[in-house]
Amino acid sequence: MRTALSGLTTRGRCLLAAGFAAGVCAAVLNERDLLRVAAFVIALPLLAAWLATRARVGLHAARFLAPSRVPVGAAAEVKLDLRSTGRLPTGGLMLEDTVPYALGARPRFLVERLPRNTPTSLRYPLKPVMRGIQQVGPLMARITDPFGLAEFDRELAGRSRLVVVPRVVRLSGLPGGSGMGAGDDGSVRLRAGQGEDDAVVRQYRQGDDLRKVHWRSTARRDELMVRVEERPWRGGTTVLLDHRVYAHRGSGPTASLEWAISFAASICLHLHHFGHQVRLVSEDGRVLAGGSSDGGHSDHVVLDSLAALQGSHRRELSGGMDPGAGQEVIAVLGGLSPASAEELVRYRPRGTRSLAVLLDVNAWSGGTDAAAPEPEDARRLLGGAGWGVAIAKPSASMQQVWQELCASAGSRGPSFRSEVG
């Protein structure tokens, strides 16, 4: 009885109070007709509360997500199966499924009549705008009687897990000297034999060994050119993701951190498609995902690890070790201070291929953040140490940034390749 009374609405409580008042007046005035009216008025909200309670007991629901993992911006569908096992049909049922703001508005359904033992299906779409491990639910039902005298809230279904992975952009091409046979990579073989290095001719950079000047190319191009012998990219590749909160700007789906995570995911899947063994690490050397011979499942491992990735609170890149562990490195970096750039240069072997994408985080903040590191400063430091560097801006597509990065690795086209002798 106490449970039933707790579900009375304001209308039901007022009607119940009016019934008791009429009963007291009937007793004082000795009016039997008024007493009958009072009894009816008291019984009506109590009966409505009891029927709503019985309907609540016999309700069951199940939730199904299709699919259970979805990229940012793609659509998913939620299916709700309702069933009433009570003796009486259920009516006046208000349903509301709890949905995080990153997935859209909360859906609401009004079920006027739910037949007994007859399943009813409800569907609504989801379109996530932010990556993450999202929880859909619980499903709450508000049961009312036709007169609005009583209502009860009940949880019909718990929470369901939806994995929202980063958006992946399809890239094309590989850095020069990758040894993957991907077309025009700007590298040629100087010597025949097993295990030889690839040779790439590029412009002279400060700090290069003058003994490796390629005089024939220098004479043809009228600028100082050097020969760089590099190992082909048949081994493993490490993708370094800088996810420091301090190094990024913006918020929500358009933040520079979300762009960096999406670009890192695109690189990992692109290299894995060409047979690379990709290892994804954070700025402190922590391994986020490592793909070896696990086939296509490594793509899911990479995407799932990035879906749950949160920003780091480190201030500088100071891992104290080579982040690539001897492998080739592609670093996706936020705002990089000169001290952090020197850390990367200090621990990376000079003869090992190293590429970096520097995000112009000041552009992500609308150009109003004077404290944001200038990417050109880090570009000079890394480029002087032999790194290939590309700068990313919000206005540039990921494919454009990737092409610039491939070009910085030494790709110069077929005419440039013929100059090596």
Residue 88 C-beta-side C-alpha neighbours within 13 Å: 13
The values of phi and psi at residue 375, to 5°, are -65, -25
User: Taking 60 as the threshold, does the pLDDT of residue 105 lie above it?
Assistant: yes
174 by DSSP, 3-state: which? coil
Both tokens assigned to 343: 């850390």
Q: 264: pLDDT confidence band, cut at 50, 70 and 90?
A: very high
Distance CA 409, CA 414 (A): 15
Q: What percent of the chain has pLDDT over 70?
A: 83
Rounded to whole angstroms, how far apart are CA atoms 189 and 179? 10
List pLDDT tens digits, range 195-230.
Answer: 444 456 777 776 677 878 888 888 888 888 887 655
**pLDDT reading at 240 higher than 90:** yes
Overall pTM surpassing 0.75 (yes/no): no
Q: Is the pLDDT of residue 276 over 60?
A: yes
Among 92-96, 171-175, 229-233, 276-280, which stretch is predicted with the lowest mean pLDDT? 229-233
Cα distance between residue 319 and residue 333, in whole Å: 14
Which pLDDT does position 293 carry in this prediction? 44
The region of weakest confidence among 18-27, 127-136, 271-280, 343-352 is 343-352
Indicate whether 190 pLDDT > 60.
no
Stretch 231-258: mean pLDDT: 84
Q: Is the pLDDT of residue 236 over 90?
A: no
| Nearest in space to 281 (alpha carbons), one of 314, 324, 344, 340 | 324
What is the DSSP pairing of strand 59-66 with strand 76-84?
antiparallel
Give 20's pLDDT tier (boundaries 50, 70, 90). very high
Contact, 21 vs 50, CB < 8 A? no
Checking if the pLDDT of 420 tops 60, the result is no
Residue type, 312: S
The confidence score (pLDDT) of residue 98 equals 92
Q: Are strands 139-144 and 90-97 parallel, antiparallel or unpaired?
A: antiparallel
